[in-house]
Amino acid sequence: MQSISHLNTPAALVDVVRMQRNIQRMQDRMNALGVRFRPHVKTAKSVDVTRAQIEAGAQGITVSTLKEAEQFYAAGIGDILYAVGIVPTKLPQVLALRQRGCDLKIITDNVTSAKAIGDFAKAHHTEFDVWIEIDTDGHRSGIKPEDPVLLDVARALEDGGLRVGGVMTHAGSSYEFDQHDALVAIAEQERASTVRAAERLRAAGFDCPVVSVGSTPTALSAEQLEGVTEVRAGVYVFFDLVMRNVGVCTADDIALSVLTTVIGHQEEKGWAIVDAGWMAMSRDRGTQKQKQDFGYGQVCAEDGTLLEGYIMSGANQEHGIVSRLGEADADIARRFPVGTRLRILPNHACATGAQHPEYQAMLKTSELQVWPRFYGW
């Protein structure tokens, strides 16, 4: 094992102590609320990270691509929800996984897709576990709880010889809030709306055993989850600056960072140039519209100490610009000489993680382990 001082840059670092603390915090909260927890593994896309979540008590996983489902099933995890609306062209891939023994669930939010799933199932003499996606906040996809289409989709599935396995939602609009009372309210809206959809389905005679909700802000803010059977959340495992601005973590909870090296300066501008650009950090500017804009990331010393007031203010493909908020730092070259190694906390952990083929996992002993991550769809 090598230490951080021997790494080439840029490199994606995972602070394992922080990560495990984040995992335990979420699992403890779900246990206290009396619900099953199904983490969304799209943030890390790493078997090593997911095993830590399961060891803490998670039951099943959520994925955002069928490639993730294939990779995690190969690693021995069989209870998987594919939480993106299915299209007919992907059904053969789903069938192949289920025939191998994977308990793969799929979702839909429209009659066309529901009919296609049923037609495919009949043609191949098989069954699928299908959940209906509910729109609880107008953020993205799904069916409103009171929309007549909800029952139309359920009927289409039944006509295809399938049953409604459950309902699920994602309150993505929770990312737009930064006050606890507002987060509590959106969490309750998410819960109540999804439970209402399940009640309508059951009243119409359809099975609906699962009620699945979740986002990191709502999972950490919900005060009660009556009627909910499981919660999903993903970014909590690493956290990031967007979540810091939302108010569900501090910068000291962020477990993912990018190690980078100072390669030059533009002293008259107060810039230090580093070897991590948007190819290492991603182009995500999720903090731009929040209460504090961190540019492309918060700058830390190599040991992880926050350097308040310094951000990655600009990024090209392989070059990043480190500068001080407000007035230019005339002593930037003295403060960060060429060769100085810094760590950058990301705006969006999912997007930054996706830029790297592996993580350098920093253990308590200060030694590193290489944790591979997945790519592809």
200 and 271, same domain (yes or no):
no
Bridge partner residues of 107 (DSSP): 85, 131
Closest CA to 312 of 326, 302, 328, 324: 324
- In this predicted model, what pLDDT tens digit does every residue of 136-182 receive, in sequence order? 999 889 999 999 999 999 999 999 999 999 999 999 999 999 999 99
Domain end (from 190, 207, 238): 238
Report the pLDDT value the prediction gives residue 41, as an integer from 0 to 100.
Answer: 98
CA distance 53 to 49: 7
In this predicted structure, the answer to whether residue 2 has a pLDDT above a threshold of 80 is: no
Same domain, yes or no: 160 and 21:
yes
Q: Is 137 helix (H, G, I), strand (E, B) or coil?
A: coil
**Which of 238, 264, 283 lies at the terminal end of a domain, its last residue?**
238
Whether 107 maps to a domain, the answer reads yes
Q: Is residue 245 part of a domain?
A: no
Same domain for 200 and 61: yes
What local confidence, expressed as pLDDT, does residue 3 receive? Answer: 80
Residues 226 and 261 in one domain: no
Residue 348: closest CA among 298, 314, 302, 301:
298
Q: State residue 5's pLDDT score.
A: 87
**What total number of domains does the chain contain?**
2
In this structure, the strands spanning 103-108 and 129-133 are parallel
Do residues 190 and 233 share a domain?
Answer: yes
Q: Domain containing 73: what range?
A: 17-238
266 with 220, same domain: the answer is no
Question: Does residue 377 lie in a domain region?
Answer: no
- Which CATH number belongs to the domain containing residue 99 in this structure? 3.20.20.10
* CATH for 306: 2.40.37.20
- Let me know whether 324 and 182 are in one domain: no
User: Could you read off the pLDDT of 320-360 as tens digits, one per residue?
Assistant: 999 999 999 999 999 999 999 999 999 999 999 999 999 99
pLDDT above 90 as % of the chain:
97
Banded pLDDT at 204 (limits 50, 70, 90): very high
Percentage of the residues of the chain whose pLDDT score is greater than 70: 100
Residue 1 pLDDT grade (very low, low, confident, very high; cuts 50, 70, 90): low
Give yes or no: residues 301 and 181 share one domain. no
Same domain? 220 vs 316: no
Would you give the DSSP letter of residue 65?
A: S
In a domain, 7, yes or no: no
Same-domain check for residues 173 and 258: no
Residue 317 forms part of a structural domain? yes
- Residue 246 counted as domain residue: no
Asked, for residue 153, whether it belongs to a domain, the answer is: yes
Report how far residue 26's alpha carbon sits from residue 257's, in angstroms, rounded to the nearest whole number: 21
Residue finishing a domain among 178, 206, 238: 238
